[in-house]
Amino acid sequence: MEKSTNNLPLNRRRFLQVSGASGALLALGFGTSAITREAEVYKINGEGVFGAQLNPFIIIDPEGKITLMNHKPEMGQGVFQSMPMLLAEELEVNMDDVHIVQAEGHKKYGSQMVGGSNSVRGEWEPLRKMGAAAREMLTLAAAKRWKVDPTDCYAENGKITLKKKTKRKSLTYGELVAEAAKLDVPAEPALKDPKDFKILGQPLPRKDAPMKCNGEAVFGLDMEVPGMLYASVERAPTLHGKVVSYDEAAAKAIPGVKYVVKAERPVFTYNFEGVAVVADSYYAAFQGRKALRVQWDLSGYDEIDSRKIDEGLKSLQSEEGFEHETKGDFADAYEQSAKTLEAEYQLPYLAHSPMEPMNMVAQVKGDQCEIWGPTQSPQWALGDLTQYLGIPEENIKIHVSFLGGGFGRRAFNDFIIEAVSIARQIDETVKVVWTREDDTQQGPFRPGTMHQLQAGFNEQGAPVALKHKMIGQALAFQWPDADKSKIPGGVMEAINTHYAIPNFTTRYVPYETQIPVLWWRSVYSSTNAFAHESFIDEIAHEAGQDPLQFRKEHLKEQPRFVKVLEMLEEKSDWSEALPEKQGKGVAIAECFGSICGQVAFVERNDTGQLKFKKVIAVIDCGMTVNPDTIRAQTEGNIVMGLTAAIKDPIIFRGGRVMQSNFHNYQMVKMDETPEIEVHIVENQEKPGGVGEPGLPPLAPALANAIFNESGNRIRKLPFRMDKV
Amino acid sequence: MAQFTLNINQKDYSVDVDPQTPLLWVIRDVVGLKGTKFGCGMAQCGACTIHLDGAMTRCCVLPVSAVGDKQITTIEGISQNNDHPVQQAWITEQVPQCGYCQSGQIMSAVALLHENPEPTDEDIDKAMHGNICRCGTYTRIRKAIHSAAKDMSYGKVN
């Protein structure tokens, strides 16, 4: 945050402020004594905000204008609204009256990482405490002014009011902020009882919606820095290719081309090479890139081939790998089973494909670095840049734009380092723009997985043994210092070990390739839930039970799962038989602290074509911030899960990615989107994730519906709706 | 390089660019109207949708030299105060998530309603088929188009 006191409007009084804290506690600005200073114009992420700052998240103008910082990158998940709602609830201000500013990347905000559906669950208390601390400071300032006890005052609607009926009076936050800013920040402010919430739990309209309807919202590609040049980077046609030679003169012959430099893009232990053409327009840079005719050394990467990956995954089926969870004795129970069932499931590698191609504006001047653009993880970028450039954190400025989608891709900072690697060689500000082809082909990718499932049944036909072995790449094994002696965290997400089957074991077998892999919306839940929930359906079918009743019965010790299933049963009229040529399927999965269940309906028309008609989703994500955002995220997860289930996979051949753009790496569009109904379980459980939990159940619910209609069990994704 | 006069949102702009430059980059980086987006560069996603003489056009594949004297309308030109019925419906239905594709979605929807004031679901599916939304806002887009259609026909009757 830059401060420039000389921009102060003359007609405004000067006020005092508490500075943002430093040090580790900081994040929250608690336990720090006030440092009084005059009110200022804060230049935050390019926007000027005048006022006194009560803590890093709240600035109040003497005329009462309230600015709340959204410190989390907004990529569609709704933090631009949900984070300020947490502050506003405790601050006792109306959301209509607050101005929201996107914060830059800075350690004073605590973690700004957006991933793992963690924003609301991570900030539920800390941000409310920030709001409450400011409210208490304002209340105390009023009490001092009136010479009363603070308990005689209450905060409401941007004002502190004296309770006494005889001399009822109030002061606005603007009138109090100067005095409040001199006070110590309370270390343990009192939080409101959820029953008194006025804002949290309300489906308030998003404040970023209007600016996303008239072109005003500024995404990374829209960032403008004076004097900025544009770069397009020629990248290897195979993953890992090395630059041998290129025609710099030909590129520089294109009018507007100014520089041709090698670029580097560190991805885990690899350093991907590229050749950047920098020009005064994107088109010139792109034309220059085409003129480069880079000669690549592509040797040694033939192993990156989907057929070989399939063989590699299969060859590991005889391995036992790491134990995840075990109960009873699977081997013995399986051995003694009256009947057994075995199935193999497989899911593909995928690209993230956010609608905004990867990009970043970078500038390196001496030992100063500044970047502008869409990142999911400003602080990781700060750390990576500190290391890469060998300069202190204070010398790095990170301006966060809106993100045109993230889905995990923008949490990884290879694209930032690449932009900086170019900027520092040319000593100019440069916007690096990836093409859609770069985005689709360069990774990192969602890892493809294979799943081996086995079940054993007793004489009565009840399941008594279950084994789920997952084989695939471990994200965590890619870092240079990875500990490969233990099961990596997260790989077994959404494999539901709550099912009451007396003997079960879940295991993970790591597979390694040279393909860089990354978090992809809902991460391993996006693959595991398909295998597990489809196989649970197979077990229910084999046991002769209704798949929804089977789940209820075998999850009866888990009341939250049962509640979701009961709501699904009711909302979908599950018990009613469907007419011919229709099918329904159910799936349920836990992901990032929430449980989502879905019932999918399919229908076959007279020409034999199957249509995904409708999906009903029920989500239990605990206490809610904005129910409309929860619905929107679940709708979006359903569409993204559907694309992953029925559209193109990423296929590797001889080190190359065969897909390149949306013509051969297709997305579900409006005509293939089913009717979607989302219901939210109301409870007082602690908040769970929202941005991802709606995705995992979609593919198994749909596949189970197709089985119900046709008897055709789908065990490999993607599949084509016109072929089932 | 060559000089062109472009009429964008009823205002003339004189630009000096390579004639082969896709109109998208001229609109964005030369004229400075950033609402029109780059998504694919091959007319496969609809993020760059504008109107040329009122007709829906993907400007990422249209060389600036091919525009001639046609009138260009971008997202910035469909209303003064975000008050086009389609924009209003988008806000009411809370369509945008990341928002990146929405300029293109809105431009396609405006063109659709201009040609077909009372579209059915099938008409909407067909007209919007060129617009990808990775966030998956399709059901809300469809609802918003129906509601904008109602608002617009109401305006005409009255």
Structure confidence by residue, pLDDT tens digits, B18-63: 999 999 999 999 999 999 999 999 999 999 999 999 999 999 999 9
Q: Which of B103, B138, B139 sits opposite A215 (nearest CB)?
A: B103
Residue A606 has which token pair? 């007279």
d(CA A26, CA A110): 8
Residue A244 has which token pair? 């041998």
Query: How close, in Å, is residue A663 to chain B by CA atoms?
Result: 6
**Which one-letter amino acid corresponds to residue A240?**
H
Residue A219, chain B, CB below 8 Å: the answer is yes
CB contact under 8 A, A357 and B25: no
Residue B120, chain A, CB below 8 Å: the answer is no
Task: Write out chain A residues lying below 8 Å of B103, CB-based.
Answer: 215
What confidence tier does A6 reach under pLDDT thresholds 50, 70, 90? Answer: very low
A539-587 pLDDT, tens digit each: 999 999 999 999 999 999 999 999 999 999 999 999 999 999 999 999 9
Residue A635, chain B, CB below 8 Å: the answer is yes
CB contact under 8 A, B34 and A208: no
Closest-CA residue in chain B for A281?
A: B29
Q: Would the pLDDT of B157 be above 50?
A: no
Q: Would the pLDDT of B136 be above 90?
A: yes
Q: Average pLDDT of A292-315?
A: 94
List of residues 6+ apart from A398 with CB closer than 8 A: A104, A105, A106, A370, A371, A375, A378, A381, A382
Task: Write out chain B residues lying below 8 Å of A639, CB-based.
Answer: 133, 135-136, 138
CB contact under 8 A, A213 and B47: no
Residue A616, chain B, CB below 8 Å: the answer is no
Q: Average pLDDT of A647-673?
A: 97
CB contact under 8 A, A76 and B131: no
Q: Radius of gyration over alpha carbons of chain B, in Å?
A: 15
Query: How close, in Å, is residue A284 to chain B by CA atoms?
Result: 9
Q: Where are the alpha helices (DSSP H) in A617-722?
A: 627-646, 698-710
Query: How close, in Å, is residue B22 to chain A by CA atoms?
Result: 8
What pLDDT does residue A212 have?
98
Do the Cβ atoms of A672 and A548 come closer than 8 Å? no
Residue A483 has which token pair? 């500990």
CB contact under 8 A, B18 and A255: yes
Mean pLDDT of chain A: 93
Task: Write out chain B residues lying below 8 Å of A628, CB-based.
Answer: 94
Q: Which of B129, B135, B139 sits opposite A671 (nearest CB)?
A: B129
Query: How close, in Å, is residue B46 to chain A by CA atoms?
Result: 10
Report the residue count for chain B. Answer: 158
Surface of B (34-63) touching A: CB under 8 A: 34-42, 44-45, 47
d(CA A180, CA A482): 49
CB contact under 8 A, B138 and A673: yes
Counting residues of chain A whose pLDDT is more than 90, the rounded percentage is 88
Residue B82, chain A, CB below 8 Å: the answer is yes
Q: Which of B35, B45, B94 sits opposite A209 (nearest CB)?
A: B94
What pLDDT does residue A385 have?
97
Q: Would the pLDDT of A25 be above 90?
A: no
Q: Which of B79, B99, B138 sits opposite A670 (nearest CB)?
A: B138
Do the Cβ atoms of A450 and A471 come closer than 8 Å? yes
Closest-CA residue in chain B for A615?
A: B139
What confidence tier does A167 reach under pLDDT thresholds 50, 70, 90? Answer: confident
Task: Write out chain B residues lying below 8 Å of A214, CB-based.
Answer: 35, 75-76, 79, 82, 87
Residue B5, chain A, CB below 8 Å: the answer is no
Pick the closest to residue B85 from B138, B157, B158, B147 (CA basis): B147
Q: Would the pLDDT of A163 be above 70?
A: yes
Q: Which of A206, A212, A663 sits opposite B42 (nearest CB)?
A: A663
Q: Which of A78, A283, A354 sits opposite B25 (nearest CB)?
A: A283
Q: Would the pLDDT of A407 be above 80?
A: yes
**How many A/B residue pairs have CB atoms within 8 Å?**
185
Surface of A (236-255) touching B: CB under 8 A: 255
Q: Is the pTM of this model over 0.90?
A: yes
Q: Would the pLDDT of A16 be above 80?
A: no
Residue A228, chain B, CB below 8 Å: the answer is no
Phi-psi region of A23 (alpha: psi -120 to 50; beta: other; left: phi over 0): left
What confidence tier does A38 reach under pLDDT thresholds 50, 70, 90? Answer: low
What pLDDT does residue B52 have?
98
A308-363 pLDDT, tens digit each: 999 999 999 999 999 999 999 999 999 999 999 999 999 999 999 999 999 999 99
Q: Which of A215, A218, A284 sits opposite B75 (nearest CB)?
A: A215
Task: Write out chain B residues lying below 8 Å of A206, CB-based.
Answer: 94, 96
Closest-CA residue in chain B for A218?
A: B34
CB contact under 8 A, B128 and A403: no
Q: Average pLDDT of A427-447?
A: 98
Q: Which residues pair with A612 in a beta bridge?
A: A602
Query: How close, in Å, is residue B157 to chain A by CA atoms?
Result: 26
Cα A114 from chain centroid (whole Å) = 6
Task: Write out chain B residues lying below 8 Å of A355, CB-based.
Answer: 37, 39, 45, 47, 98, 100-101, 132-135
Other CB atoms closer than 10 Å to residue A249's CB: what's the count?
9
What confidence tier does A37 reach under pLDDT thresholds 50, 70, 90? Answer: very low
What confidence tier does A51 reach under pLDDT thresholds 50, 70, 90? Answer: confident
What confidence tier does A24 reach under pLDDT thresholds 50, 70, 90? Answer: very low
CB contact under 8 A, B97 and A407: no
What pLDDT does residue A180 have?
92
> Mutating which of A72, A208, A212, A222 best tests the B interface, going by the most B Cβ atoms within 10 A?
A212
C-alpha dist (Å) from residue A704 to A722, B118, B154:
16, 37, 44
Task: Write out chain B residues lying below 8 Å of A227, CB-based.
Answer: none
What pLDDT does residue B156 have?
59
Q: Which of B100, B136, B142 sits opposite A639 (nearest CB)?
A: B136
Q: Is the ipTM of this complex over 0.95?
A: yes
Surface of A (541-560) touching B: CB under 8 A: none
DSSP string, A92-120: T--GGGEEEEEPPB-GGG------TT-HH
Sign of the torsion formed by the C-alpha atoms of A663, A666, A670 and A672: positive
Around A74, how many Cα atoms within 13 Å sit in the side-chain half-sphere? 31
d(CA A620, CA A588): 11
Report the residue count for chain A. Answer: 724
What pLDDT does residue A337 have?
98
Q: Would the pLDDT of A7 be above 50?
A: no
Counting residues of chain A whose pLDDT is more than 70, the rounded percentage is 94
Angle between helices B85-92 and B138-157 (to 10 degrees): 140
Give the sheet arrangement for strand B2-8, strand by strand: B11-17, B2-8, B71-73, B49-52, B55-58
A700-713 pLDDT, tens digit each: 999 999 999 999 99
A69-115 pLDDT, tens digit each: 999 999 999 999 999 999 999 999 999 999 999 999 998 899 999 99
What confidence tier does A52 reach under pLDDT thresholds 50, 70, 90? Answer: confident
Task: Write out chain A residues lying below 8 Å of B98, CB-based.
Answer: 74-76, 354-356, 402-406
d(CA A188, CA A132): 9
Do the Cβ atoms of A667 and B134 come closer than 8 Å? yes
- For residue A671, give the H/E element and its range: none
Counting residues of chain B whose pLDDT is more than 90, the rounded percentage is 95
What pLDDT does residue B154 have?
65
Surface of B (127-146) touching A: CB under 8 A: 128-129, 131-142
Query: How close, in Å, is residue B53 to chain A by CA atoms?
Result: 20
> Mutating which of A211, A409, A670 best tests the B interface, going by the most B Cβ atoms within 10 A?
A670
Residue B91, chain A, CB below 8 Å: the answer is yes
What pLDDT does residue B102 have?
98
Residue B108, chain A, CB below 8 Å: the answer is no
